Amino acid sequence: MKRVLVVGAGPAGMMAAITAAENGASVTLLEKMKRPGRKMMITGKGRCNVTNAADVPEIIRQFKGNGAFLHSAFAAFDNQDVMRFFEDQGVPLKVERGGRVFPQSDHALDCVDAMVRRLHELGVTIETETSVREVLLSDNHVAGVRTETGAVYRGEAVILAMGGASYPGTGSSGDGYAMARKLGHTVTPILPSLVPLETEETWPKDVQGLSLRNVRCKLLVDGEERQNLFGEMMFTHFGVTGPIILSLSREAARALYEKKFVELEIDLKPALTPEKLGARILRDFEKYQRKELKNALVDLLPGRLIPIVIDAAYLDEEKPIHQVTAEERQRLVDALKHLVLAITKTRPIAEAIVTAGGVSVKEIDPRTMESKLVPGLYFAGELVDVDAFTGGYNLQAAFSMGVAAGSYSVWND
């Protein structure tokens, strides 16, 4: 019976262990934390967004980097397979806005418990509080692993599924990158993804907690547009966050790493052309013609944002409406359509939802997840240089890579 060692009991590692055991292997799952699935329990704000109901081509489009690498893994185990797996394990699911798939209970723990239960049913040995230090080789083929305490586990295949560098409190502290490098693998720059952004301007602190819906944000790098997203964002004491900010953050992190100038341009009224917005402002000014400027924008903006927009337009908030010129109205339109913030850095990688970068996909067989450099070594999950937007896509990738690694770790000689 083939002995398979899986390092890391996150979503990819657990799915790899389950699959290897289902294919007849003797499987040992090694986890540094006290219990499996710690990071999985905080996904989807504690609800566990297990996958997305979109078709596979659309899911692959959601991967900013190396989505094409996942074609084979998704062909073998796609989102319908993920949903079937959890339903079969007694976890009924539901589909929400944007195709996001959650357990009906809204409890991530139900998904984790279902996977752990399946591991026990299959006789997988789960060793918790066991930190792996290195992969052992014999004639350049995997022979086992050694733990921090010096204990040795022997096996003919090792699957590294140790997660990225985000949320280190869950066990994803980046150990796998050093291990992969030691084995000769290239690790692309590790950057935070799906992470809030910090701004040079301090005024976001004055409106912290203010959430804006139906706005459009452009990410500008050295003055050129890189991304343009519509949706919801929120101001914080350090800068900005929210769904569209998180989706822009990967590109921002990359540009900042390259020492480029990064800006966020917010269109507060994307449904209105500049001309229609100008006409709308004129109507409001007629309505509030006896008021000062700061009191004439109450129908257009949240109260706390009014002085910020006026300041961005270089106007006097106490100026009487009847004294505001056409040129000043145009400056107000420009400020509403192009409110700019300079991005100085991302929040720390420990706060990122996922990690961008990782073991180079050029050195991994996309069908089997086996290393092209070390026979018997497999990779799965966030350790690999593959990452996507929010919406269940990253967990789908983890499950699909886990199944591929788990299957072929048994089948390959």
Is 165 a residue whose pLDDT tops 80? no
Residues 327, 329, 333: CA angle, nearest 5 degrees: 115
Nearest CA to 374 out of 161, 176, 142, 191 is that of 142
Q: Quote the CA–CA distance of 219 and 229 in Å, as a whole number.
A: 9
Q: DSSP strand E in 363-411: where?
A: 377-379, 387-388
> pLDDT tens across 386-409, in order?
999 889 999 999 999 999 999 999
Q: Quote the CA–CA distance of 274 and 332 in Å, as a whole number.
A: 10
* For residues 56-75, average pLDDT: 94
Which residues have a Cβ under 8 Å from the Cβ of 139 and sit 6 or more positions away? Answer: none
Query: Which pLDDT band, with edges at 50, 70 and 90, does 174 fall under?
Result: confident
Domains of the chain: 3-190+353-411 (3.50.50.60), 196-346 (1.10.8.50)
Report the percent of the chain where pLDDT is more than 70: 98
What is the token pair recorded at 259? Answer: 């020492």
Report pLDDT for 51. Answer: 97
How many Cβ atoms are within 10 Å of 34's Cβ, its own excluded? 9
Residue 114, helix vs strand vs coil: helix
Q: Quote the CA–CA distance of 229 and 5 in Å, as a whole number.
A: 42
Phi/psi of residue 106, nearest 5 degrees: 65, 25
User: Tokens 């996904």 map to which residue?
Assistant: 43
Q: Where are the alpha helices (DSSP H) in 217-346?
A: 243-257, 274-287, 306-312, 326-337
- What is the Cα gyration radius of the chain? 25
Report pLDDT for 390. Answer: 87
Query: pTM of the entire structure?
Result: 0.88
**Mode of pairing for the β-strands spanning 339-346 and 262-267:** antiparallel
Is 171 a residue whose pLDDT tops 70? no
